[in-house]
Amino acid sequence: MKIIGISAAMAVAWAATAQANAFDDCVLKNMQGATSDVAAKSIKVACIRKSSVTLTDDDLKGLKVSNGFYGTFGMMRTPGFTAEVKNNTGFIVTEITFAITIGDGPAEMYRVDNFNYQEPGVIYTGPAPDPTFDMRIDPLKSKKFQFEMDRREIEKKKKWGWSLVGAKGIVSQ
């Protein structure tokens, strides 16, 4: 009987310290009415967007961009950028804003909220089973991704640069 009491007390203590994040709460609240996989996936996508908050300038310092280049990707040879971001923040990153400059022109802001990477030579036959997989960069992880942006001036050997100027994410527990 003492073992059951001790186990129950430990379970209550563990439950009291376990906390869901805003995304988890949103999914739990809204998933009750879901009657199909399509509905469930739509709820998760809506919750990831609804639960994201703007990262502070201090938090942005925890995001490191590397291996960036401009080129084409995919079977359709889509023009755009490839980047890799290391997330050293306490957030699940759900959106990144880049400032991209070409030559002496003004910075163009570009928001990325899909961190998909099309591996060269691989043919994809459909969307990922869980669309939110491509909508997040988890804490202490790196993710390589591509985003479409047709800037043919870069191909004509114009200098270009970019910087990460904003991000959103979900607090990770």
Longest dimension (CA), the chain: 78
Residues 6+ apart with CB under 8 A from 32: none
CA geometry: angle at 37 spanning 31 and 39, to 5°?
55
Joined tokens for residue 167: 């991000």
pLDDT digits (tens, 9 = 90+) for 46-80: 999 999 999 999 999 999 998 788 888 887 888 99
Find the domain containing 18 and state its range: 2-51
103: region left, alpha or beta (phi > 0 left; psi from -120 to 50 alpha): left
- Asked whether residue 34 falls in the same domain as residue 81, the answer is no
Residues 46 and 117 in one domain: no
Judge if 63 and 40 occupy the same domain.
no
Tens of pLDDT, residue by residue over 5-53, are 333 333 333 333 445 688 888 888 988 888 888 888 889 999 999 999 9
Residue 151 has a pLDDT of 85
Cα(130)–Cα(12) distance, rounded to whole angstroms? 32
Q: Are residues 140 and 83 in the same domain?
A: yes
State the pLDDT at residue 13: 38
